[in-house]
Amino acid sequence: MSRRGEASGTVAQVGSSPRRIHYAGRKIARVRSIADLRARAHKLMPRFVLEYLEGGAGQEATLDRERKAFAEWRAMPFTLSDEACRDVSAKMLGRDASLPLAIAPTGLNGIFMRNADVALAQGAAEAGVPFIQSTMSNDRMEDVAAVPGLRHWWQLYVFGGEEIWQELVDRADRAGCEALVVTSNAQIFGQREWDERNRTASGFPNLPGLIDAARHPRWLVTTLSRGLPEFSNVIDFVPKDERSFFDSANWIREQMPKSLGWDDLARIRERWCKPLFLKGVLNLEDVSRAIEHGVDGVILGGHGGRQADWAVSALDILPRARELSGDRIALYISGGIRRGSDILKARALGADAVLTGRATLYGLYAFGAAGVSRAIELLRSEMMNELGQYGVPNLDALSPDLFVREDRLPL
């Protein structure tokens, strides 16, 4: 389904009637799905912010594939099964989580609201799942780490000289971060045409974008009333004459080393003694290489469809990746998670856990930290319901045999 179709509120149904309308109002208790949170976010966001949240690379084929991959798997439910005691809790790095999910690292969340990263962390702590903070976040690492009850992970972009990533890794250790997540597939930015159309050569929103933003007073008050956000965790590395919002973003992008390789990962592994994940893997050979380089986990995914266009989805290669890795590492996937059934499919096909980015960002923009925890609770409750529908008691009872691809449906 195209982004335009989703934004208009259409859903899969028999024919086109009745037209389904998602709830986009102010009462969080009435929210019944991630689609409701998405509808409210779309209603309240300026157009250029919406494009930033939803856009993919190029023709957006990878973005589209991330959702279609989940739609291709169908359950074969058991019946007459004991469904009285269902459980969707899981272990993540040996610790309990309310469901096998972490909030994915997303940069520039300050464009949605002030202190967005702290709000995401608060929602994650309330829901009992980890929050992975991005290098390109807008709240200080130490401020996020101060959120009570938070399982705080740090995502690392490698840019500039080695002293930068070394300092970030050491700060993450001092801040008590539980794990380090190294992103490997963003050294060259994807072709984000939607972003280029909405901005001037200097990076500032174009005139139509500014006019549209002026029509969204809520966004102006919650986001821009104290000025543009800054990249708080890396701004001290930026030359003083390039520390404005757009200049700093461009400077950091230009400092991304095109030569980032496996030797760099080995040096990071040597410096970081806690759990280490490699994120952005979509090739099975790279899964094997990551294991050889001593990572504790691999996160399969295509950067939310924003990098390589026409790439496979994480779910496409998940079963083979599980075969290759066995039980030697944790195997997570990211991209396209919108329903609890998506998480169950991922678990059945070999994932230990999933990451979600957009689903919790919809909740963030719609209702702040409460919307983040609401998004996660919706996914958890959907998982509980679907477990009962499938006739299995818990996540360990899931297996590939419970699902079949549409192109292999038994006659």
Active site residue ranges: 303
CB of 362 within 8 A of CB of 34? yes
Strand partners, 394: 87
Amino acid found at 406: E
Strand partners, 333: 300, 354
- The contacts of residue 86 (CB under 8 Å, 6+ apart) are 384, 387, 388, 393, 394
| Residue 216 marked as a ligand binder | no
| Residue 106 marked as a ligand binder | yes
| Residue 226 marked as a ligand binder | no
CA distance 159 to 187: 8
CA distance 80 to 76: 13
| Residue 279 marked as a ligand binder | yes
| Residue 380 marked as a ligand binder | no
Total residues belonging to the chain: 411
Residue 282: is it exposed, middle or buried by C-beta count within 10 angstroms (0-12/13-18/19+)?
buried
| Residue 365 marked as a ligand binder | no
Going by DSSP bridges, is the β-strand pair 152-156/330-334 parallel, antiparallel, or unpaired?
Answer: unpaired
Going by DSSP bridges, is the β-strand pair 152-156/179-183 parallel, antiparallel, or unpaired?
Answer: parallel
Structural tokens at position 258:
């095109």
- The contacts of residue 80 (CB under 8 Å, 6+ apart) are 391
- The contacts of residue 272 (CB under 8 Å, 6+ apart) are 169, 173, 180
| Residue 155 marked as a ligand binder | yes
Kindly calculate the radius of gyration of the chain based on its CA atoms and give it in whole angstroms: 21
One-character DSSP codes across 220-252: IIIIITT-----TTTGGGS-GGG-SHHHHHHHH
| Residue 347 marked as a ligand binder | no
Taking alpha carbons only, the member of 324, 346, 323 closest to residue 334 is 346
Going by DSSP bridges, is the β-strand pair 73-75/403-405 parallel, antiparallel, or unpaired?
Answer: antiparallel
Question: What is the sign of the dihedral through the CA atoms of 226, 228, 233 and 239?
Answer: negative
Annotated binding site for glyoxylate: 52, 157, 192, 303, 306
Q: Which residues are annotated as a binding site for FMN?
A: 105-107, 134, 155, 183, 279, 357-358
Known binding site: residues?
Answer: 52, 105-107, 134, 155, 157, 183, 192, 279, 303, 306, 357-358
